[in-house]
Structure 1
Amino acid sequence: MKIKYAIVGAGPTGLGAARRLKELGEKSFIVLEKNSHAGGLASSFTDEKGFTWDIGGHVVFSHYEYYDQLLAEILVDEYIEHLRESWIRAAKVWIPYPFQNNIRHLPNLKKWECVRGLLPGVRSEEAPSNFFEWINNTFGEGIAKHFMLPYNYKVWATPPESMSFSWIGERVSVIDLKTVIKNIILERDQLSWGPNNKFRFPLKGGTGSIYRKLAETVSSHILYNTSVTSIDQKNKIIYDSEGNTFEYEYLLSTGPIDILIKKWLEKSSDTLTNAAEMLKHNSVIVVGLGLSTSKKDSRCWMYFPEDDSPFYRVTNFHNYSPNNTPIPGQGRALMCEVSYSNHKIVDHNQIVKEVEDGLINTALINEEDRKNIISRWSINVDYGYPIPCLQRDEALMILQPALESMDIYSRGRFGGWKYEVSNMDHSVMQGVEWAERMINGQPETTYRIS
């Protein structure tokens, strides 16, 4: 088969690209998807008991007018809008998110340690060289000790000394000593920080319903159950697991860029292979526990920095939509996320039990609730988060220009390997902007190589 544009992956980026190519009048393109469904990491699943689960705690918010209009078309009025209510469990108390703005809830000694670390002359004024130093310099030793360092290790499964801090942007609320002290004295919480303080969620089908519906708009261009086995970049031919070949002019790859370099491309140079080896990622196990009983709890999601639980985040997924439980509006769906890597090992055979124990340790359920767990669902996600490691930008500056010289464009959460632009809206728009670049020559703004 000969096509002008080949797209690997029917996740948010690949679907965004396909949709925009079609809108711009292009007909010669194809999307190759290894799974039997669209959505990638934004897929949703319904288990045997009727609970719906996402692959992690996705929420729908946007930085883009195009994405907003796309959602309006896809969701119509079939969504629920939420005001974010998120909390942190630390020192056996619940602290409103973000931690650094609400330390007044801590026990007095820990509260003082956090304030003391912020006092003038205590924090280093030297330029940080890694994420560990940035945390200590920005938040002081107290906040670093009680939340920022243990929580980030639980999320990334990577020592913060090995990570850059260039990705921070709007991802982390920085701190002001005056505000901290004022909040403590006035016993005031500061809750609304962040781009996702208001978010939408589909009424039915989980987050994956968005991308299933988006895929339907370009369904004639998608080939499911089609796994790429190799790419002849010189002759511009893709080979799949069924022995099919696809000749292309331009290729958008939304799979992990290290797999593209090390497994798919024929005769990758040592320079590209070595650069791909510099990239790091963690893995995530998502455990969904479905309970038959209900309990009033308005929280959206919760963070867990301490070692009394294996998970870094738990989502009250039943709050996102009443249809996420088998009997709408009844029962509970607790979605728990656990990271792992070579730095942070987990026992896959015991992780569901450890998650249950962690829910008890953190007061989300009690021993009696164990009897009411009617569903235990889990999924292992090999590529969970692209780590902003110290070598990342150097590696991407080698890989991306080299790929583009071959008319190969690597975009998306792991195709671009930039966590700071890998929300769902970012990911869709990476595909949209790539299509606009191909057709109209417009520069990409969401994903930048330099």
Structure 2
Amino acid sequence: MRVKYLIIGAGPTGLGAANRLAELGENDFLVLERHPYPGGLAASFTDAAGYTWDVGGHVVFSHYKAFDKLLDELLGDEVLRHQRESWIRLAGTFVPYPFQNNIRRLPPDLVWECVEGLLAAGRDAAAGVHPDAPANFREWIDRVFGPGIARLFMVPYNFKVWAHPATAMSHRWIGERVSVVDAGRVVKNIIYGTDDVAWGPNNTFSFPLRGGTGEIFRRLARRFADRLRLGEACRRVDPAEKTVLTASGDVIVYDHLLTTGPLDRFVADQLEGASPAMIEAAGRLKHSGSVIHGLGFAGAPPDPRCWMYFPEADCPFYRVTNFHNYSPLNTPDPDGMIPRSRAFMTETSFSAHKPADFAGLERATVDGLVATTLLAPADVAGQNASWEMRVDYAYPIPCLERDAALAVLQPALECLGIQSRGRFGGWKYEVGNMDHSIMQGIEWAQRHVLGQPETVYTL
């Protein structure tokens, strides 16, 4: 079989690329997806009890008009709009996100510890105490936030979510991902007793009425179902012959190839003739995994919170989403537009730096929901759903070696006529959101058909 455009992976990037090719009148393409469903990390599933779960706490927001247009086409009126309510559980209370702007909610001694550290960090910056750039993410945290916020939140939370020490991570990925801090603004919030919650691109977000985030990609995949092979993995790529061998034994000849799976696996396991330098560089890329639990409980007392962060050690998870608040149809028993069950979706990271007890994790997760007051002890008996998904590739770590590794890998792939894009194909967390990922696929298609340069993912 021969195709002009071959795409490996039916996640947001691969489907975005295929859809744009079709829009441009280029229908000679094929998408291979190793799973029996489209969507990748943005897929959704309905469990035996009738709850719908995402693969982690996705919300839909956008930096791009093309992404907005596509969502409007796919979802129409079947979309809900939300004002973000996100919180941090710390020191026996909940603090509005972003933490550093709302420390007034803490006990007085902790408020002062944070303010004292902020003032010291400001004095150091004004005096030029640190003339060189931070050597790693931990140094950046200390310099920007001071020791109080670092100790209480930034260091423990970031280890919990990334499952890698901040000293092993670069600070160059941050951009709009981490709210920096204005000491004057913090003090003003303390004096006036005001919450400061509007920061960030996702302070408002959308969500599909039915089917979870994965509904977006199921509908998108239906547009070209005849050119999508589900359950068909790529076994080997021969760039010299421009062929792909699939797991079922088919050989596909291509003119242009986009791969969207994990870059390290592609180079080490699938790419014929990968050079020793490429294999060494691929080995320097780091990632974390995540265990997602979907836990349903009878009864839904009012709780407007969307999601919550957990930096402390009284629970295994780093984030909990009130998934019943995203859409009542995420639960099996909505009464009109009001859910009558709670759907807690939790995320727990793991890596060699942070191993997880998989066998006992659900029990520890339920205990953590009680310890953090999301569940009353008496509510545990009302559990009516349990869903679990282990994701080995959850976060591409912006480690200290990442940029140097990508500087070897991506140009080498370009020389072979291959582009690797997407959350793990590109391995840049800073452009790894859903909208970024779809746009990477769109721009790949436009590059090959229209000759337009890529702007979202750059080498």
What interval of TM-score do these two structures reach, taking the shorter chain for normalisation?
over 0.9
Distance (Å, rounded) in 2 between the aligned partners of 1:258 and 1:216: 30
| Distance apart, 1:241 and its partner CA | 1.0
Distance (Å, rounded) in 2 between the aligned partners of 1:432 and 1:19: 8
Distance (Å, rounded) in 2 between the aligned partners of 1:183 and 1:356: 35
Read off the aligned partner of 1:141 and give its amino acid letter.
Answer: P
The match for 1:360 is: 370
The match for 1:63 is: 63
Distance (Å, rounded) in 2 between the aligned partners of 1:27 and 1:326: 39
Distance (Å, rounded) in 2 between the aligned partners of 1:375 and 1:2: 46
Distance (Å, rounded) in 2 between the aligned partners of 1:448 and 1:330: 46
Distance (Å, rounded) in 2 between the aligned partners of 1:63 and 1:219: 28
2:360 to 350, 370, 375: 350
Read off the aligned partner of 1:386 and give its amino acid letter.
Answer: P
Read off the aligned partner of 1:287 and give its amino acid letter.
Answer: H
For the residue of structure 2 that corresponds to 1:333, the secondary structure is: strand
Read off the aligned partner of 1:254 and give its amino acid letter.
Answer: T
Give runs of aligned pairs for residues 275-294 of structure 1, distance below 5 A: 275-294=281-300
2:446 to 433, 436, 446: 436
Q: Give yes or no for contact 1:6–1:252 (8 Å, CA) kept in 2.
A: yes
Q: Are residue 209 (structure 1) and residue 215 (structure 2) matched?
A: yes
Read off the aligned partner of 1:297 and give its amino acid letter.
Answer: D
Distance (Å, rounded) in 2 between the aligned partners of 1:50 and 1:26: 39
Matched pairs, number? 449
Distance (Å, rounded) in 2 between the aligned partners of 1:193 and 1:69: 25
After the TM superposition, list the runs of 4 or more consecutive aligned residues in structure 1 that deviate by more than 2 angstroms.
120-127
Distance (Å, rounded) in 2 between the aligned partners of 1:27 and 1:374: 46
Read off the aligned partner of 2:247 and give its amino acid letter.
Answer: S
Q: Are residue 175 (structure 1) and residue 175 (structure 2) matched?
A: no
For the residue of structure 2 that corresponds to 1:363, the secondary structure is: coil
The match for 1:17 is: 17
Distance (Å, rounded) in 1 between the aligned partners of 2:441 and 2:166: 31
Read off the aligned partner of 2:380 and give its amino acid letter.
Answer: R
Gaps of at least 5 residues in structure 1 are none
Give runs of aligned pairs for residues 200-279 of structure 1, distance below 5 A: 200-279=206-285
For the residue of structure 1 that corresponds to 2:356, the secondary structure is: coil
The match for 1:424 is: 434
Root mean square deviation of aligned Cα: 0.8
Q: Give yes or no for contact 1:122–1:140 (8 Å, CA) kept in 2.
A: no
Read off the aligned partner of 1:36 and give its amino acid letter.
Answer: P
Read off the aligned partner of 1:301 and give its amino acid letter.
Answer: W
For the residue of structure 1 that corresponds to 2:118, the secondary structure is: coil
The match for 1:125 is: 130
| TM-score normalized by the length of structure 1 | 0.99
| TM-score normalized by the length of structure 2 | 0.97
Deviations 1:280-326 (A, max 9, x none): 00000001110121111000000000011100000000000000001
Distance (Å, rounded) in 2 between the aligned partners of 1:376 and 1:369: 15
| Distance apart, 1:267 and its partner CA | 2.3
Distance (Å, rounded) in 1 between the aligned partners of 2:374 and 2:230: 40
Q: Are residue 392 (structure 1) and residue 397 (structure 2) matched?
A: no
Give runs of aligned pairs for residues 152-167 of structure 1, distance below 5 A: 152-167=158-173
Read off the aligned partner of 2:373 and give its amino acid letter.
Answer: A
Q: Are residue 87 (structure 1) and residue 123 (structure 2) matched?
A: no
The match for 1:335 is: 345
State the identity as a percent. 55
| Distance apart, 1:118 and its partner CA | 1.1
Read off the aligned partner of 1:117 and give its amino acid letter.
Answer: G
Deviations 1:400-440 (A, max 9, x none): 01001111100000000000001100000000000000011
| Distance apart, 1:121 and its partner CA | 2.7
Read off the aligned partner of 1:15 and give its amino acid letter.
Answer: L
1:372 to 382, 387, 401: 382
The match for 1:403 is: 413
1:185 to 191, 198, 201: 191
| Distance apart, 1:217 and its partner CA | 1.1
Give runs of aligned pairs for residues 24-63 of structure 1, distance below 5 A: 24-63=24-63
Distance (Å, rounded) in 2 between the aligned partners of 1:289 and 1:125: 47
Read off the aligned partner of 2:8 and give its amino acid letter.
Answer: V
Deviations 1:106-152 (A, max 9, x none): 01111101000011435653421100000000111100010000000
Q: Are residue 140 (structure 1) and residue 146 (structure 2) matched?
A: yes
